[in-house]
Structure 1
Amino acid sequence: MRWSAGWYGGSARSRAPRDGTPVPVLEPVWTVDWPADCVRTVGDGSAELTVIGACGADDEQLWRALPTVRSRDWRTLTTWPGSYLVFARCGEVLAVIGDLSGQHPVYWRPERSGVWWSTSATALAALDGAPTDTASLAARMALAQPDVLGTRSLFRTVNRVPTGHLLLITPDSVTAARYEPVEPEGVDLRQAAPTVRDALTTAVHARLGDQPVSADLAGLDSTTLACLAAQRSSVAAVTFADERLRDDDVLYAARTAATVPRLSYRSVPGGPRTVYYDGLEDVRSLPVTDEPNAFVVTATIKRAVLDAVSERRAGGVHFTGAGGDAVLSAPSSYLSDLLRSGRRLRAWQHAQAHARLRRMSPLTVLRRARPASRTTLAETWQQLAAVLRRPPRPWVPQAQQPVTWTPLLATADWMAPDVRHQLAVELDTAAADRTDAPSSLTAWSDQQDLARVGANTNGWREIALTEYGVVLAAPFLDNEVIRACLAVPADQRAAPGRYKPLLSTAFTGTGILPDFVLNRVTKGGFNALAYAGLRANAGILRELIGPSSRLAAAGLITDAPVADMLARAASGLPTAQGALHLAVSTEVWLRQLDTSAHIWWEVNTHAAAA
């Protein structure tokens, strides 16, 4: 696993990351498994700057950024294309800046003589064997919004930098300081479209070089990236084409490859094992990740795609449309914001369109949206705390429940009473401590969706890199792409009757994407493979998250409701799939913590010699 770490303090530490490479000028800072060309440092004595990852700034741009470091304009250091970590120092002030999607998370833990920081919470916990934090795990499973508990990580004594914040360390303090506005300023869709096109084009082209290039070719998002890459490079495109999906991805992919120069195409047929939840009988066969990761559920499907890529070209960069849905669309919860702002006519017009798609009445759509329009984020958490103090609820599909700032997932109703009570206490505390909550439900939801998608994409990236030597690129999760897209109000991004209007407006008439792609209104789904996997692997899942699981031992699940949900799934009945994904991925991660022989630290020979 690629990670970075550093020490800020008055004395040298006796430990260093195992197999770590010291970063020139900035010792004691180390990187682990990062190639040399992904770690670049500039400095003039009064200021130092390091970027770690896929950063589109050239060396001259980094040198020109040193005055920015001296002026402590931290946000400007996050506006280059790519996905990267920033480490900046001016005098005794140090800033460690991750990204807006959680692909480069930042954690810290204080000690008497200084502060350790790292992009791996697990590594910091391994310094003294810090245990997992049950309340944080409960929040992650029940709420699936990473920032609810603020700076709490999944380990005790290890702190997490929330989304949109940076780690700021001085001789007197260590804090998570906000660098991104709580809410973006609104920009009309047509005005924002050229900015989105430029940001996305730059993000793709910055990752191209002499290495082989491959890409997913399925929905509108991944097709856009493949076509952008094909402007400058030959692209080996692949489409997962399991006949159980019954979508038209293959038809569009073949037509696109026949139209766009330098874009070759291959479909990847599914098989008995390319289903959800396959291959979980041995968690050692899965890559170790720093937190529970949703891609363990679909690992065999991802491997099938990467197998096809590797058969055609070894190594290189592979583009995925991950994050596209999060930045180009908006959940129907934006209707709550329209009601909150008094835009009732627009809310009614949009509700009518949503009702036609879902075959329900517009009044039903608005009734679901109205409660959230009358509450704040903190009030929602207080309400959730009250719910958790009562007996578990009967299961109702999420799509039938009222819209809310923070949905309470079915996993909350699987937990033991004492864990539910503990989570309720944490939510009350979080509600009292929250001082910078957005006024818009959509702004909050967008941030949380991106943080979740980015963290999960790291799991897919780990499979691609460790097993295939392929670097996964997700340009929709780049900072500037996120900023350009989310500046467009949600009711314009989710305009009824148009599919992803921001992307189609940005690229219509440019000749980059064929018109038939931009006019596409269909989207594939994986529900069939989810239910096939639930049926085929029912026994393995029953053992994995049954009474002998780590989750059960911690009170994070109880047997009866989980057994009932698995039985529903095996029978093909509607199931809380998201909740099952969370439970399975968390159990796999906990078992890996117990069984992994990974050694994070070694003796720091330089400090020992001193």
Structure 2
Amino acid sequence: MKEREARWYGGSTPGSRPAAAPVGARLLWSDPAVWVCGDWEPEHIQTVEFGDAKIAVLGPCSVSEHDLARALSCPDLATVAGEWAGSHTVVRAQGDGRVEVLADAAGACPLYTVNVPGGVVWGSSSLALSPLAGGGVDTEWLAAFLRDKHAPTAGRCAWAEVKPVPAGHLLTLHTAGRASLSSWWKPVKRTLGDASAALRHALGEGVRVRVEGGSVTTDLAGMDSTTLALLAAQCGPITGVTLHPERATHGGDLDYARALTVPGLHRTYFPLSARHLPFTPTEVPLPATDEPAPSTPVWSMFSHQLRVMAAAGSVSHLTGDGGDSLFLLAPTHLASLARHGRWLRMLGDAMDWARLRRQSPLPLISAAVRGNTAHIGRAVLLSPPWLKVPAVPALSDHGPASADADAVFLSSFRIVARSAHAEIQLADSLSIALHNPYFDGAVLDAALSAPHEQRFSARRYKPMLADTFADLLPEAHRKRAAKGLFVGDFHEGLRVNLGRVLGLADGRLAALGIVNPVPLQAAIHAAALGARTIWPPLLSALAAEAWLEAVETTSATKWERPMSASAGVR
């Protein structure tokens, strides 16, 4: 299968002289320069021009022509564009020389900037922008990623001198080469009923704009993906794909998938065999991405699934990723309950959570009383023994431990949403447009607007999602508690591929002086023997090594006017 050119978009400071532009890009506008790269669905690039004013929406979006016309002339772009469903970036050029770039609230459409002589270049791929900044990996960011991928270094990305635009912010570019950032989004509060109605609209519209008019597949497994499949089936024929062990004929996801008999939904099954074990080599090289992708250790399985779907005619695939992050919350609200003196509710919820996790409630209660919101229900990971470089303080280390529960949730959610973009880049290389509707900004806005304690329950699985779509989900699916775990597959994958994985432990990360291969190889040996393993830091190290290899063997984006980087956007 022929790999396709990576899809991304970007632009540069207006006026003065032509700025850098990637070779082969398709210009939407020349001044200010805005371009797209790769093959895009026509409906996912919408532009309108009227006189000197121009607006573009890049990505799946529910916007109508009337909405675009309103946004073109309204004083505050975010008041109109911030309500649109889908996952997209909005760019508006004004007659006064300003260019506004609206970053989505969830962070699922990451944006980055590089300062170059004469102005700023922005884009949706840090990898593509990196040649303008010298093409160097930010080793301090990488060290923080290896320590805890869910607590990265603040204001940095995987590439040195490439600066991330914070989610929910407006990037404004001026003709003088200046750039500024301002926050445009903040959580609103709704009653549970209103929040549920907003969630139903946002998720339904987010699915609709992705599935109408194309051949689409979707995951069909747990409650999250099943909800998407049922919403998609209302818009036209859809094929649900269920993964299962090769020898399994019933049980788990198979039984739940077979129980769904609704018009427009077809089912297919993807048997998993030894060739799909984690860490297994594949004939499809791992593509280079903005940062190490979560699916890197299971690329053999993921790439095969994508190729099978593409061969069957699918051009887009919906996943349930993000559902756990959105609806399966840690009990951070315990600190808020303690702060407001609601002791009985706090103690009851702490006991329920501890019983569910088969652990003592005392650490939860102690953290809640101290107001240590950030660490409630989340294991404190020590720096792995193979990490040689002291990591720069992580994002969560800068704020007070008593941060608001919603602020802690929002920070964590955006980190996961950003990393999921690398998954989209993996799928894109094999001609499948991967979509994660649960990471849409409007979906986040709706879910976060409900009272935190009403989104949480240790007695019910994902109550907000189950209640919002109670008329759509069959009773058995609403009452399903969880999905299966695949830890055993990782142990077996290491045993089968031990020699190859040990080689990864003494490679580029070791050459950079970031890891000590001896303790890393010891941890790999122990995991291969079935020892209890703390998987996140181990998988991060192996994914980062494979990512560095992919980056090293992939041609960098070529630019029409190579420029060196300077200081970041302030």
- The question of a shared fold, defined as TM-score above 0.5 by the shorter chain, is answered with yes
Of 448, 452, 468, 2:415 maps to 452
For residues 67-88 of structure 1, the C-alpha deviation after alignment (integer angstroms, 9 at most, x for no partner) is 22xx134353232111111112
In structure 1, C-alpha distance between the alignment counterparts of 2:79 and 2:380, rounded to whole Å: 33
- 1:253 to partner: Cα distance: 0.7
Q: Give the 3-state SS of the residue equivalent to 1:449 in structure 2.
A: helix
The equivalent residue for 2:567 is none
* Shift in alpha-carbon separation, 1:484–1:250, aligned structure 2, 3 A: same
* 8 A Cα contact 1:8 1:114, kept in partner: yes
Which sits farther off after the overlay, 446-455 or 478-487?
Answer: 446-455
In structure 2, C-alpha distance between the alignment counterparts of 1:343 and 1:240, rounded to whole Å: 44
In structure 2, C-alpha distance between the alignment counterparts of 1:15 and 1:495, rounded to whole Å: 51
The equivalent residue for 2:55 is 49
The equivalent residue for 1:60 is 66
* 8 A Cα contact 1:201 1:228, kept in partner: yes
* Shift in alpha-carbon separation, 1:568–1:490, aligned structure 2, 3 A: farther
For residues 439-478 of structure 1, the C-alpha deviation after alignment (integer angstroms, 9 at most, x for no partner) is 64532342233333323333332333332x3222211111
Q: Confirm whether residue 189 of structure 1 aligns to residue 207 of structure 2.
A: no
The equivalent residue for 2:438 is 476
In structure 2, C-alpha distance between the alignment counterparts of 1:14 and 1:193, rounded to whole Å: 45
The equivalent residue for 2:163 is 159
- 1:375 to partner: Cα distance: 4.7
* 8 A Cα contact 2:102 2:168, kept in partner: no
The equivalent residue for 2:517 is 559
* 8 A Cα contact 2:14 2:31, kept in partner: no
Aligned-pair Cα RMSD in Å: 2.8
For residues 487-524 of structure 1, the C-alpha deviation after alignment (integer angstroms, 9 at most, x for no partner) is 2233322212111110111122x3x2222212222322
* Shift in alpha-carbon separation, 1:477–1:244, aligned structure 2, 3 A: farther
- 1:11 to partner: Cα distance: 3.2
In structure 2, C-alpha distance between the alignment counterparts of 1:587 and 1:113, rounded to whole Å: 36
For residues 98-497 of structure 1, what are the structure 2 equivalents within 5 Å?
98-127=103-132, 129-145=134-150, 149-170=153-174, 171=176, 173-181=178-186, 184-242=187-245, 248-256=252-260, 259-279=261-281, 285-310=285-310, 313-367=312-366, 369-370=367-368, 373-375=370-372, 403=376, 409-416=381-388, 419-420=389-390, 423-424=392-393, 431=398, 440-467=403-430, 469-497=431-459
* 8 A Cα contact 1:142 1:408, kept in partner: no
The equivalent residue for 2:566 is none
* 8 A Cα contact 1:107 1:118, kept in partner: yes
- 1:93 to partner: Cα distance: 2.2
* 8 A Cα contact 2:133 2:162, kept in partner: no
Which sits farther off after the overlay, 261-270 or 26-35?
Answer: 26-35
Q: Give the 3-state SS of the residue equivalent to 1:599 in structure 2.
A: coil
The one-letter amino acid of 2:392's match is: L
The one-letter amino acid of 1:57's match is: V
In structure 1, C-alpha distance between the alignment counterparts of 2:495 and 2:189, rounded to whole Å: 46
Greater helix content: 1
In structure 2, C-alpha distance between the alignment counterparts of 1:329 and 1:128, rounded to whole Å: 39
* Shift in alpha-carbon separation, 1:60–1:220, aligned structure 2, 3 A: same
The one-letter amino acid of 1:601's match is: W
- 1:238 to partner: Cα distance: 1.1
* 8 A Cα contact 1:48 1:89, kept in partner: yes
Which sits farther off after the overlay, 292-301 or 494-503?
Answer: 292-301
* 8 A Cα contact 2:246 2:273, kept in partner: no
* 8 A Cα contact 2:153 2:392, kept in partner: no
In structure 2, C-alpha distance between the alignment counterparts of 1:462 and 1:119, rounded to whole Å: 11
Q: TM-score, normalised by structure 1?
A: 0.83
* 8 A Cα contact 1:78 1:86, kept in partner: no
* 8 A Cα contact 2:13 2:19, kept in partner: no
Q: Give the 3-state SS of the residue equivalent to 2:88 in structure 1.
A: strand
* 8 A Cα contact 1:104 1:119, kept in partner: yes
The equivalent residue for 1:593 is 551
- 1:289 to partner: Cα distance: 0.9
In structure 1, C-alpha distance between the alignment counterparts of 2:10 and 2:361, rounded to whole Å: 52
- 1:556 to partner: Cα distance: 2.2
The equivalent residue for 2:477 is 517
* Shift in alpha-carbon separation, 1:596–1:264, aligned structure 2, 3 A: same
Q: TM-score, normalised by structure 2?
A: 0.89
* Shift in alpha-carbon separation, 1:345–1:472, aligned structure 2, 3 A: same
The one-letter amino acid of 1:105's match is: P
Q: Confirm whether residue 537 of structure 1 aligns to residue 497 of structure 2.
A: yes
The one-letter amino acid of 2:146's match is: M
Q: Give the 3-state SS of the residue equivalent to 2:29 in structure 1.
A: coil
The one-letter amino acid of 2:320's match is: G
The one-letter amino acid of 2:84's match is: W
* 8 A Cα contact 1:5 1:17, kept in partner: no
Which sits farther off after the overlay, 263-272 or 42-51?
Answer: 42-51
In structure 1, C-alpha distance between the alignment counterparts of 2:154 and 2:148, rounded to whole Å: 13
* Shift in alpha-carbon separation, 1:494–1:539, aligned structure 2, 3 A: farther
* Shift in alpha-carbon separation, 1:86–1:602, aligned structure 2, 3 A: same
* 8 A Cα contact 1:105 1:119, kept in partner: yes
The one-letter amino acid of 1:565's match is: A
The equivalent residue for 1:396 is none
The one-letter amino acid of 2:273's match is: G
* 8 A Cα contact 1:39 1:52, kept in partner: yes
* Shift in alpha-carbon separation, 1:25–1:602, aligned structure 2, 3 A: closer
For residues 544-570 of structure 1, the C-alpha deviation after alignment (integer angstroms, 9 at most, x for no partner) is 122xx2212233221233123212211
Q: Give the 3-state SS of the residue equivalent to 1:458 in structure 2.
A: helix
- 1:48 to partner: Cα distance: 1.9
- 1:206 to partner: Cα distance: 1.9
Which sits farther off after the overlay, 18-27 or 197-206?
Answer: 18-27
Which sits farther off after the overlay, 194-203 or 243-252?
Answer: 243-252
In structure 2, C-alpha distance between the alignment counterparts of 1:466 and 1:427, rounded to whole Å: 31
For residues 537-590 of structure 1, the C-alpha deviation after alignment (integer angstroms, 9 at most, x for no partner) is 2222211122xx221223322123312321221111111211122112222222
* 8 A Cα contact 1:219 1:524, kept in partner: no
In structure 2, C-alpha distance between the alignment counterparts of 1:132 and 1:376, rounded to whole Å: 33
In structure 2, C-alpha distance between the alignment counterparts of 1:321 and 1:218, rounded to whole Å: 9
* 8 A Cα contact 1:213 1:316, kept in partner: yes
- 1:302 to partner: Cα distance: 2.1
In structure 1, C-alpha distance between the alignment counterparts of 2:39 and 2:106, rounded to whole Å: 20
Q: Give the 3-state SS of the residue equivalent to 1:82 in structure 2.
A: coil
* Shift in alpha-carbon separation, 1:444–1:144, aligned structure 2, 3 A: farther
* Shift in alpha-carbon separation, 1:589–1:175, aligned structure 2, 3 A: farther
